[in-house]
Amino acid sequence: MDKRISNRCVLGLNLSGHDSSACIVQNGAVFAISLERLNRIKHSGPITGDGFEMHHAVNYLLNLENIAIEDIDSIVINSPEQEDWLKELASKRYPTHDVALLPQPSHHIAHAYSAFFTSPFKEAVVLVADTVGSYAPNKYARECETAFLFDRRNEPKIIKRNYRTPGEISAGWLYSFITALLGFGGSQIPFSGAGKTMGLAPYGKNRDDFPDFTDYYKENKNIPAVDFKNMLDAQGLLPKPIQEKELGINFPEHVKWRVDCRLPHEPITDLHKDLAYFAQKNIEDRVLCLIKDIEDKTKIKNLCLAGGTFLNSILNKKIMDKSSFQRIYVQPAATDDGCAIGCAMWGLLEKSDNSNKKEFFGMPYLGKEYSDKVIGAFLKDLNTSFHTRFICKEISPTKEPLKKIASALADGKICGFFTGRSEFGPRALGNRSLLADPRRRDMKDRLNKVKKRESFRPFAPTILRERVLEYFDIDVDKAVYLLPFMTVVANVRGDKKDLIPAVVHVDGTSRLQAITQKENERYYQLIKEFEDITGVPMVLNTSFNCQEPIVETPFDAMKTFLENDIDYLFLDPFLIIKNNPREIELL
């Protein structure tokens, strides 16, 4: 990268109403954090009951690299709602001489930059799709799907852009609406549980009384809102003017209908399962039509994907199988939190001549790493922080901790695994993970109870890269940039399903992560130890959290460990066992 560019320091802020985040790019390195990891509010926006909270994320990054706010050359802010007062507030809090000189990238441009500039490609098509993006120049329609062409000079060219008007529904909007209808969202962001909709979809079936919107998609059209409303009415989902407050759901302003949503405590019916199936099929139909249209416009065989739509690992597998693209990369932080990276990269290159050689920044481990000394000091003061007896002769690193963890996992224990730099994005990929034995048939139900999740939700395996084809049917060459980040599913081979039942979903697939020693040495070594004991080269991996954001600090990890049915906690290099709810011991 050109030294004039790499020496610049740029702060990117994503001020979306959900998943707000910050990113600093300096000297060719990237550091990023989602606000939710710090204020412990899932999908947090920049404004909470405590006011404007982005300073938590900004200060975290400044302290991480000992940067002063005065050292920031540019600040680039992304706010798809075009709330100028919010941008002004951020600018006043973080003054820098250059902040007013840079215009704001659109929401989809921020997504696109986040995908291409964390990818390994020198040229690529970048497709962005989500629920809603920035307004069109007419301030009436809003972005829903945009395709860009990034060439070797890193200059993006729009090759396809679709907007959604208030009288239309995009495929991403429909998926989000059905997620809210199924009761899977939170009170502030009713569509935040899209992953639950994806998990429920294989339990449903196709229904003749549900409409087929494929013809609209083939003609590059959105769905008329009245068609979808008629579908809901036919299913009895618009029976009466139920008030939003009664449901505990605060719909976005563009949702004008009162719908009979499932409440979280109510059972999931066959209709709910079929609605999830419908939403999944609909998004697949739409995106595959988009992909076909894009393929006709370019000969480039590298594809980058960003926007919340592409956290859908089932959809990503369909794209991989049915498109002619030879290499596919999904930004691991595909939802709005990734826009902070896009803003920072956009600001970095806005001042360049666009002739620099791009670099692969090594997503997703972009957060803070805690030293042995820091964690040791935390453990020394543990008894004053928690009402728990801590048995410890001396604060010293555990001998052969990975062997002990692997043995505990093989005995059916659950272990919190905290090591290295934290991951950026919604997936725990080995540094802030809960780990378990994939061979145990009861482990799925047990972990769902521990995490207080719906019983139908699946868990993912992490496998050694060199052993993937023994267990899964997948084109590893085409999926080489998907496998490290848990962004694609694969069919489990028939003779392996009974061997690893805890990570096989009802449709016979797993959303797998496959790693090399170079990508995550500590985690790789642990899986090797587990393989030496069991003969199985994988562990069950889920995010280290229980109805809260993924743990970020040693304090977060210890709190989650103590408050839930977790047997071991590894705060690298210290291994702690829970003897009972009121007593823990350093091994």
What are the pLDDT tens digits along the chain (587 aa)?
444 445 788 999 998 888 999 999 988 789 999 999 999 999 998 887 767 788 899 999 999 988 888 888 888 888 655 455 556 656 666 655 554 445 678 899 999 999 999 999 999 999 999 998 888 887 789 999 999 999 877 678 999 999 998 889 999 999 998 998 898 976 556 668 999 999 999 999 999 999 999 999 999 999 998 898 889 888 888 754 444 434 334 444 334 445 667 887 889 999 999 999 999 999 999 999 999 999 999 999 999 999 999 999 999 999 999 999 999 999 999 999 999 999 999 988 876 655 554 555 567 999 999 999 999 999 998 877 788 889 988 899 999 999 999 999 999 999 999 999 999 999 999 999 999 999 999 999 999 999 999 999 999 999 999 999 999 999 999 999 999 999 999 999 999 999 999 999 999 999 999 999 999 999 999 999 999 999 999 999 999 999 999 999 999 999 999 999 999 999 999 999 999 988 999 99
In a domain, 238, yes or no: yes
Residue spans of alpha helices (H) in 141-193: 171-181
DSSP structure class, residue 202 = G
Pair 545, 425 in one domain: yes
Counting Cα atoms < 13 Å in the Cβ hemisphere of 471 gives 29
In a domain, 367, yes or no: no
**C-alpha dihedral (490, 527, 396, 432), degrees to nearest 10:** 0
Task: Look at the alpha carbons of 305, 306, 307, 308 in this order and tell me if their dihedral is positive or negative.
Answer: positive
DSSP structure class, residue 494 = G
Across 310-431, the runs of DSSP E, i.e. the strands, are 327-330, 389-391, 415-418
Pair 440, 560 in one domain: yes
Please list the residues that pair with 157 across neighbouring strands. Answer: 149
Q: Is there a contact between 25 and 9 (Cβ–Cβ < 8 Å)?
A: yes
This prediction has a pTM of 0.93
User: Where does a domain end: 341, 362, 383?
Assistant: 362
**H or E element that contains 274:** helix 270-295
Q: How far is the C-alpha of 299 from the C-alpha of 203, rounded, in Å?
A: 38
In a domain, 127, yes or no: yes
Q: What is the pLDDT of residue 2?
A: 41
**H or E element that contains 214:** helix 214-218
Q: Is there a contact between 160 and 146 (Cβ–Cβ < 8 Å)?
A: yes
Q: Is there a contact between 341 and 12 (Cβ–Cβ < 8 Å)?
A: yes
Pair 104, 179 in one domain: no
In a domain, 421, yes or no: yes
Q: What is the pLDDT of residue 223?
A: 94
For residue 47, report the phi and psi dihedrals to the nearest 5 degrees. Answer: -115, 125
Q: Which domain holds residue 235?
A: 120-330
Pair 485, 502 in one domain: yes
Pair 183, 263 in one domain: yes
The amino acid at 199? G
Pair 358, 391 in one domain: no
Pair 226, 351 in one domain: no
Pair 430, 495 in one domain: yes
Pair 228, 96 in one domain: no
Please list the residues that pair with 391 across neighbouring strands. Answer: 585
Measured between its terminal Cα atoms, the distance across the chain in Å is 46
Pair 325, 336 in one domain: no
Give, in order, the Cα–Cα distances in Å from 181 to each of 1, 34, 249: 47, 27, 10
DSSP structure class, residue 206 = -
Pair 302, 353 in one domain: no
Q: What is the CATH number of the domain that holds 460?
A: 3.90.870.20
User: Where does a domain end: 330, 351, 380?
Assistant: 330
Pair 124, 42 in one domain: no
Number of domains in the chain: 3
Q: What is the CATH number of the domain that holds 256?
A: 3.30.420.40
